[in-house]
Each structure stands twice: as structure tokens, then as C-alpha cells.
Structure 1
Amino acid sequence: NKHEPGQAFKLTLLRGDQELTVNSRFKTCETSGMVEPVQEEVVAEEVVEPAIQVPETTLELNDYNAYPNPSFGEVTVRFQAEAAPTEIQLSDSAGRVFLQRQLKNFDGFFNEELSLREATPGTITLTIRQGDKLITKQLVLLNRA
């Protein structure tokens, strides 16, 4: 405690445009019945959780490119991936799927011009899926002037 019993202090209160000053002194505090705080040692218990194996669900693409992005209607999408059945899907910002292609004999290379003209202008989501793995990419469809 930084104040001693009997030490004077002044308290000034301001309410609106009125000021009230109170002069007073610190009083002696009773010490009987006060207990010294007990310091307990806290032991942190290390919890070892088993490692959870999360299957990798992100599809790996090589040489991905989509241009022009942003676009006024058509976009060329190019990528390389594992030669496996592949699904290509385009959806607009409302979640409406406007293009869906099943490539059952996908040879590992994709290079096609896709039309975005049926979509609402804004953010378009390109989803590429192979089995239980997928990747999403964002495209932007602009309004024609």
C-alpha cells in the first residue's frame, strides 16, 4: 500500500459547471483477521492427444492458368492433373451451377475455352474434381458496357 494512515488527500468532483472539493485523511486499516495469501504451485499436466490422420482432399494441379480473368464472357482454362475421370463445374455467386462436364477419359491435360455467358456477373467458382479430391478457383465475370 503506498499511502500511510493519517496522510492527507484532496478529492475534487466536477458536475456540470460546479466543482466540489473534499479534504480528508487516510485511516488505519484493521489487520486482525487478515490471512496471508497462500501460494500454491501449479503443475501443468501434459496431455498427449493421438495424431488424427486427415485424408488429403485437395486436388493437385500443375500449370493452372485461366485467362482472361476478369472476363466479359469466355475464359480459357488450362491445367495438368492425374489422368483420371475428372469433373469440371462452374457456378455463379448464387451457387447456381451453369456448366458441368464429366471427362471420363481425361488424359491429364485440359485446355479449353469455357463460356461464362449464362452466369450472373460477379465471382464465378470453378471446381475441378477427381474422385474424392477437388480444388476450387475463382474467376470474375464482368458486365458488358
Structure 2
Amino acid sequence: MDWTLEVVVLPVSDLDGAIAFYRDRVGFDLDHDTRNEHMHVAQLTPRGSGCSIVVGSLPSQNEMAPGSMRGLQLCVADAYAARAELVSRGVECSEVTVFDERDGGTFFGFADPDGNTWGVQQLQVRGEQPLIPHDGRDRFDA
């Protein structure tokens, strides 16, 4: 049986601010932004990923302190280019550090406005063999 991780709930204090940060500065796709009298929930997905983050006001999200998630990890084919892209969009990032010269040993990090932290790992193989191939369509197009 396959088990896939498809959603990570991310605790934030300002939902609209978090949507703007992850969509406009980090570059995640906004899959949906649902608001009604009971809740406000948004799902954002890094391009090329099968896993999304969800921010919102559901009870499970309100049980976690904003900024309490540490070490969420993204993978990119080129850490230097990814860092430069984020910095150009106003995201404060750590310097790129090479822990091991082999593929997978290069990292940098950043935090969202609440302090949830992200590690970004360079896996050059992702440039050659993406986990989710891009076919030019939005991931929710039929």
C-alpha cells in the first residue's frame, strides 16, 4: 500500500499575510482560498510538488502556535539559483552551505513572517528527473 504525504498544516497568525508571503514571495501556487462564516482556509503548493501547505482557521490549526513548525524541507535542482530568486522577491535567506559535495549535501534556509522555518536542499537530480513532471497544465486542470 502506498502512503503519500499530501498536506502539511502550517500555523500562522495572519492568514492573508501568509497567503501573500507564500504565493507572491516564495512562489507557491494558490490552489484554493475558501472563506465562509465558519472558517477561512487556503492551500498552497510548491510548483512541482505533490505536497501542499494549508493555512487557516480550522480548530486543528488553532491548536498550534503560529511559527511553531521547524525544518520543513523543500528540494530544488539548484540551491544558488533558488536562493537568488527568493532574495530577489524580498525573502531573507541564510547563505548556501555545502555539508557534503555529493548531490543532496547543499542547503540554505528561510523563515516565514511567523517564524516557521524551511530548509532548502539542492538535489540536482530533480532537474533531470522531477518527482512530478511539468506538462504545462495547472495541477488541477482536468
Question: TM range, normalised to the smaller chain?
Answer: under 0.3
State the TM-score, normalizing by the size of structure 1: 0.25
Query: Which one has a larger percent helix, Structure 1 or Structure 2?
Result: 2
Structure having the higher strand fraction is: 1
Q: Answer with 1 or 2: which has the greater Rg.
A: 1
- Higher relative contact order, chain-length normalized (CA < 8 Å, sep 6+): 2
